[in-house]
Chains A and B, each alone.
Chain A
Amino acid sequence: ELKVEQNPLFLSMQEGKNYTIYCNYSTTSDRLYWYRQDPGKSLESLFVLLSNGAVKQEGRLMASLDTKARLSTLHITAAVHDLSATYFCAVDKTPGNTPLVFGKGTRLSVIA
């Protein structure tokens, strides 16, 4: 059974600090997805990492993928309050095929 595990599940950060969210998965998938959900809202796509070693960055968020370790990281640099949200990683249910299986999410709270 496919497992997608995120840690931590809850994260409280001070503004200006750096931190990393980890996503481990149990299949041989060659791509990984990150989504963001604001409280009470829907999900929006952040990154799609398409191959081993892929790195993508947008603003204060940077995501990377190590398919050999079956690990993706979402690094937050100099956190600001606007980054407060829940972040989900997801992988293909079976390698090379949608649908996606999601992790439980990391609820990030950035405080002053």
Chain B
Amino acid sequence: NAGVTQTPKFQVLKTGQSMTLQCAQDMNHEYMSWYRQDPGMGLRLIHYSVGAGITDQGEVPNGYNVSRSTTEDFPLRLLSAAPSQTSVYFCASGSGAKRVEKLFFGSGTQLSVL
């Protein structure tokens, strides 16, 4: 059972580089989201999607883009990486669009921007 799969697990970038964090789920979930986790800050929502073709911003969207062309995939793009984007990123999905009862999290991507 794959669940929510995130790649890569680790990544080091230089300031100004761009990259895409991949997230895929095989549970046919309508809802998908991206969070970043920083020490002492808990989890902060970056972007979310309630279905293919529908995305919306969370608390900290600046510097990130998302798209949802399929139900399964929800990639997160860093346009021009900055040291402030050094963090652990989690993708999460859940069944239902308006309200999910349980989020399933991926294993996380640890990103360092130098």
Contacts and interface: CB of A to CB of B under 8 A. Distances in A.
Task: State whether these chains interact.
Answer: yes
Interface of A: 9, 33, 35, 41-45, 48, 88, 92-93, 96-105
Nearest to A47: B102
Contacts of A42: 90, 105-108
Interface string B90-106: 10101010111111111
Interface string B3-29: 000000000000000000000000000
B63 interface: no
B53 interface: no
Interface string B22-60: 000000000101010000111111001010000000110
Contacts, number: 57
B78 to A, nearest CB: 20
Contact of B98 (A33, A96, A102): A96
B90 to A, nearest CB: 7
Interface of B: 31, 33, 35, 40-45, 48, 50, 58-59, 90, 92, 94, 96, 98-108
B103 A45 contact: yes
A9 to B, nearest CB: 8
B90 A43 contact: yes
- Main SS of the interface on chain A? strand
Nearest to A42: B105
Given A98-B31, A99-B48, A102-B43, A45 B102 contact: yes
A104 B90 CA distance: 15
A98 B108 contact: no
Nearest to A93: B45
Contact of B42 (A92, A96, A97, A105): A105
B40 A104 contact: yes
